[in-house]
Structure 1
Amino acid sequence: MTAIHYTVEAANLHAHLFHIRLTIAQPQATQTVSLPVWIPGSYLVREFAKNLQNLSAKQGRRSAAITQRDKCTWDIACKPGQPVVLSYEVYAFDNSVRTAWLDSQRGFFNGTSVCLRVHGQEDAPHQLQLTAVKSHPNWQAATGLAPVKIDKKGFGLYQAAHYDELVDCPVELGTFWSGSFMACGVPHRFVVAGALPSFDGERLLADTQKICEAAIAFWHGQGKAAGKKTPHKNYLFMLNAVHDGYGGLEHRNSTALICNRTDLPRQTKPHRNEGYTTLLGLISHEYFHTWNVKQLRPDAFARYDYTQENFTQLLWFFEGFTSYYDDILLRRADLIDDSTYIQLLGKAIAQVQQTPGRHVQSVAQASFDAWVKYYRQDENTPNATVSYYTKGSLVALCLDLKLRSEFKTEGYTLDTVMRGLWRRCKAGPMREQDLLDELQALTGRSWQKEMQAWVHSTHELPLRELLSAHGIQVEAETSAMAQRLGLRVNEGAGSVLVKAVLRGSAAEAAGLAAGDEWLGLDVGAKGQGGSWRLGKLDELPALMGQERQLTAWVSRDKRLLRLRLTVPAQASQWRLSMPADRATGQWPRI
């Protein structure tokens, strides 16, 4: 008998309950079990144990006593030498990539949400039995786990070398669409739940294949010989198409994705739209993580501690550098052109420049604080923190352009550094010093000054200087009214609802606050321009004419407030462009 064996049954679809039976072949006299409080890749304590119920334990016909130790840990009193069987249910109604979901249309779960960890036996072999859903005979199952004995629909027995592998292979259940392709000789499968009838699966497969081949070529070179060097022998993409949603979570040989149905390619629309390009960028991002965070990982993740936060200052590298390369791989796969790539780069720069928190928090601090700030965003988030995804990607850009400038003759790029880090650290954890050491070994000089300025301080990045040196024109264009006023808003149904007020802005000076509903305005210092209902911020120029003074009518806690607001002169933001004759520019082949 395998040391640890789980049987997972979709027991009650309408009640959203999975039933789990856990058999421990050789329990300790006091066998401790626990459910993780977080899932690797999503840096927030989510308390998965809140969804666990009806836990019981038996050895043969005898009930074993259970004592709860804390919020997610239990001690089982066992007789030595006799298997113990735990039975429990998990409520699954979170339609995200992080936890578990079950209804009459679809099932999904991550092991961190449903599989209790058997303390002291984490490194023993683990098996997972997926039980077919009798009420839904057309359902299938898909997972990155290694099959032992399964049927044509994917139900049956799977094997994991240890607990970490078990919970790093999510499971998809339902009547999903499925397609396959080979990338450098490595089998890949794509399953999609919730797609519209017009969904063009063949185009999604073809485009994803190009992304995977570009990523494998990045790390290992071209062709089947490169495929033999990948850390995965097969790969599974699981995509949940919904009315409104976006996100992804990387795993060792799979990824869970969620997107809007309308972002999927359609047979009736052969041209790639912005939503589909965004989806391809997400696919590229999560697939790149197969190397950069799942294998090449920070020392804090050398062995996951599932009981608490696992702090690291390196998310700017593992998430930020991955964010830099996700769009570059789309370009290398010829899924976007140079112009589109430059637009995406400009969007990332604008996001950072429009975040006052970049003056408050370094990107290294943002990485460490992810557990309490990035994943717990509120109205003050843009004023207090900076995204380690977006600014981290710009740190990667600066490093890449700096290398290309200084070492043009040698042909050094950030690609060279990343592949060097793979050789240096793939067998063990990576530290910031490893990046510095790799840069010094490659270039013969210290990069400590750049690391301090770009990563550990709140200084502005030298973006304009580096971009201009590579032939990218940096011009000013008029920013939108929301940015001009220093507001982030929700607009809909003729209403302007304030989400956030940016630090040092005109809106802050006027006294606007998150949660305010901006109803209307009096134009002019004395209202001489009339009173108007406001439906969208972009209506302001037409309503105000040449005036810059107005009185905003705001609803706050059912009270009507009149706030004096001075609209700033036209603010500008960067617009990046490439010379019409690219051959005359300095921009390198990316």
Structure 2
Amino acid sequence: MKKQFLVGALTLAMVGAFAQAPQKPISYSISFPNAQHHEAEVAMTISPAPGGPLVLHMSRSSAGRYATHEFGKNVYNVKATDSNGRALIIKQIAGDVYQIANHGNAVKVSYTLYANWTDGTYAGIDQSHAHLNMPAVFMWLAGAEKRPIRFEFQDLQKYNWKVATQLKHEEANIYSAPNMQYMMDSPTELSDFKETHWNVTNSDGKKERINLTVHSNDDQGTIDNLGQMVQKVVQEEKAVFGELPTYDYGEYTFLDDVYPNNAGDGMEHRNSTCIVDAADKVAGNEIGLLSTFAHEYFHSWNVKRIRPKSLEPFDFTHANMSNELWFAEGFTQYYGELLLVRAGFHDVNEYGATLSGLVNSVLITPGAMKYPATEMSRKSVFTDAGVAIDPTNYQNNFTTYYYYGGAIALALDLRLRSEFNLTLDDYMRSVWLSRGRVMKPYTVADLQTDLGAITKSPKFAADFFDKYINGIEKNDYEALLAKAGLVLRKRAPGRPWIGLPPDFTGGRAAILRGVGAGYPIVISPVKNTPVYKAGLDAGDVIVKADGKDVTDAASVNAVFADKKPGDKVTIIYNNRSGQHTTTLLVEESPALEIVTFEKTGLSLSANQKAFRGAWLSSKVK
């Protein structure tokens, strides 16, 4: 606690001391003499340096990520010198915080960065590329958040690299950012990527350039083809809002990195998005990759400009909690998939499978049945790529706000269409004009007000928010989907189901297998499943089922393959307290699926056909 207080006090002191200093750039230089071992050398020059102690941070969180990630763990060899190269005393006062108490007018801080995780949160360096998420790479000076930033990227010719970024290109290998927030929001890819681009004429007649850069094992023709596909998605998204955002410097850039050992991710930014695919190449995988493109590009309106007040400004020193992620991420999840249908990349049958995931998330998961969307949003500080060694019980107390919010968006879209002759597009456009375009951060109450305004029914808006967003009631999805000629039904009626948790072969499973023969349960079962009701839990090792020896998930499932819902099966299992016997009652899975009327043999009425067409057809004029 004392250390935290000291850092806070020094930071406040620095704000006051720096207020009178000239706003000259803080400069960074990054080089890669040891790229084959995933290291970079970073130098940060502060000139002029403000008076008083300097407090330098490595970030603990990253724009677009809501949990903490402790980027300071991969920084070492931290040194400080003055303008003459003389060593200064730099003291590590917290895991990710350094202090220089005594210094002159200019200070240079240098350190080694280790980076070997290519995704949207961390950084990855090897001889093929430097994939840089800025909070994971660059220290920053407390109190200097408004100073402009200058970057110099070294070794580009050595590795035959180019620069893809939303940073402003000044000259040669020099780039800039107007302030720290923009810098942190500017992922940068240094590699021999391939590129294609096109112009989009905005509603005001101005043209904005969209760049697609892809670092992958593909030829230029493949990238050009992917660009044409992404261009269709961009046009459909523009049609939702009626216009593109005004991108800084007139450009938006997709940064795509494709390689099998990538972590896989998508991360939105103000004028770019970082997309990381764990595939061998783009060719043959285009349709599968488009989902991330559609989702992340929608964020250039929803999140980066239609901005939750709880995330403004973003704090890089701790987790950033928000009540609004059901809208920021969930509504984006809904649109990302819907727009692929409108753009012609998926048909209604494929879309039904997507909608099934959304509806199941709110109707049958324990988290959604017990907790509102706002509370699930707040859990992002633990669940948004958060890392934990100890087991969690998220399967019973958390439903992802991506799907929870996506299901709410689906219901609201269908209700607006059927009850008000409006669409969710109309609502999103209204929120864009009142909040996003003018960069006026919103709260949950603001979103309710906007819904009341567009429907001209504050009562409907209040009821919807009270029940489905702040409360845990669920919309009537069966009736709503029927309006578009879609059937919500049981996925596996009459088939046996026991709700066995996923099978894992490493970690705790290996430890539990060492306890003795049998099938170990590694993850706690979901509540209300037959396995849970039978009293089985993580740490138990099933040795017999229905009198048969079992050794793995397949042998357990084989026992139940010919059972029927209502059958009772005796289970013998071991745990630390000894051997136990329980009775498991076989049930029918609660999982649902959404299929077309046509697939079930039902006739599609003219009204249903028109409703479906208005919902799923292209809006590009």
- Write out per-residue CA displacement over residues 459-495 of structure 1, whole angstroms, 9 at most, x where no aligned residue: 233322322344322222317989x322331367998
Q: How far does residue 93 in structure 1 lie from its aligned partner after superposition?
A: 1.8
- Write out per-residue CA displacement over residues 166-209 of structure 1, whole angstroms, 9 at most, x where no aligned residue: 11111112333333333444322223334467993333222111
Query: Which segments of 5 or more consecutive residues in structure 2 lack a partner in the other structure?
Result: 1-22, 202-206, 507-517, 616-621
1:240 aligns with 2:263: no
Q: Equivalent residue for 1:271?
A: none
Q: How far does residue 421 in structure 1 lie from its aligned partner after superposition?
A: 1.0
Q: How does 1:223-302 map to 2 (within 5 A)?
A: 226=243, 229=246, 233-243=250-260, 245-261=263-279, 264-266=282-284, 276-302=286-312
What is the alpha-carbon distance in structure 2 between the residues aligned to residue 341 and residue 418 of structure 1?
A: 21
1:550 aligns with 2:564: no
1:129 aligns with 2:146: no
Q: Percent identity?
A: 25
Is the alpha carbon distance of 1:504 and 1:431 closer, same or farther for their aligned partners in structure 2, counting shifts above 3 Å? same
Is the alpha carbon distance of 1:374 and 1:33 closer, same or farther for their aligned partners in structure 2, counting shifts above 3 Å? closer
Q: Equivalent residue for 1:436?
A: 448
Q: How far does residue 393 in structure 1 lie from its aligned partner after superposition?
A: 0.7
- Write out per-residue CA displacement over residues 56-83 of structure 1, whole angstroms, 9 at most, x where no aligned residue: 2222223222233333222223555x22
Q: How does 1:122-201 map to 2 (within 5 A)?
A: 122-133=145-156, 136-150=158-172, 156-184=173-201, 185-195=207-217, 200-201=222-223
Does the 8 Å contact 2:525/2:536 carry over to 1? yes
Match of 1:99 among 122, 128, 140: 122
Q: Equivalent residue for 1:576?
A: 594
Does the 8 Å contact 1:139/1:173 carry over to 2? yes
SS in 2 for 1:488: coil
**Larger relative contact order, structure 1 or 2 (CA cutoff 8 Å, min sep 6):** 2
What is the alpha-carbon distance in structure 1 between the residues aligned to residue 493 and residue 220 of structure 2?
A: 37
Is the alpha carbon distance of 1:480 and 1:175 closer, same or farther for their aligned partners in structure 2, counting shifts above 3 Å? farther
What is the alpha-carbon distance in structure 2 between the residues aligned to residue 316 and residue 45 of structure 1?
A: 20
Q: Equivalent residue for 2:7?
A: none
Q: Equivalent residue for 2:101?
A: 77
1:212 aligns with 2:234: yes
Question: Aligned partner of 1:23: which letter?
Answer: T
Q: Equivalent residue for 1:9?
A: 31
Runs of 4+ in 1 over 6 A off after TM superposition: 196-199, 479-482, 491-496
What is the alpha-carbon distance in structure 2 between the residues aligned to residue 25 and residue 582 of structure 1?
A: 71
Greater shift, 202-211 or 345-354, is seen at 345-354
Q: How does 1:191-590 map to 2 (within 5 A)?
A: 191-195=213-217, 200-220=222-242, 226=243, 229=246, 233-243=250-260, 245-261=263-279, 264-266=282-284, 276-376=286-386, 378-408=391-421, 412-426=422-436, 427-446=439-458, 447-478=461-492, 484-490=497-503, 498-514=522-538, 521-523=544-546, 527=547, 531=549, 534-536=552-554, 538-542=557-561, 544=563, 548-552=567-571, 563-580=581-598, 582=604, 584-586=606-608, 587-588=611-612, 589-590=614-615
Q: How far does residue 157 in structure 1 lie from its aligned partner after superposition?
A: 0.3
Q: How far does residue 210 in structure 1 lie from its aligned partner after superposition?
A: 0.8
Q: Equivalent residue for 1:118?
A: 141
Q: How far does residue 582 in structure 1 lie from its aligned partner after superposition?
A: 4.8
More strand by percentage: 1
Is the alpha carbon distance of 1:471 and 1:254 closer, same or farther for their aligned partners in structure 2, counting shifts above 3 Å? same
Normalised to the residue count of structure 2, the TM-score between the two structures is 0.82
Q: How far does residue 512 in structure 1 lie from its aligned partner after superposition?
A: 2.5
Q: How far does residue 549 in structure 1 lie from its aligned partner after superposition?
A: 3.3
SS in 2 for 1:186: strand
What is the alpha-carbon distance in structure 2 between the residues aligned to residue 324 and residue 231 of structure 1?
A: 27
- Write out per-residue CA displacement over residues 205-230 of structure 1, whole angstroms, 9 at most, x where no aligned residue: 2211111121122222xxxxx45855
Greater shift, 575-584 or 445-454, is seen at 575-584
Q: How far does residue 278 in structure 1 lie from its aligned partner after superposition?
A: 4.0
Q: How far does residue 541 in structure 1 lie from its aligned partner after superposition?
A: 4.1
Normalised to the residue count of structure 1, the TM-score between the two structures is 0.86
Q: How far does residue 332 in structure 1 lie from its aligned partner after superposition?
A: 1.7
Q: How far does residue 496 in structure 1 lie from its aligned partner after superposition?
A: 7.7
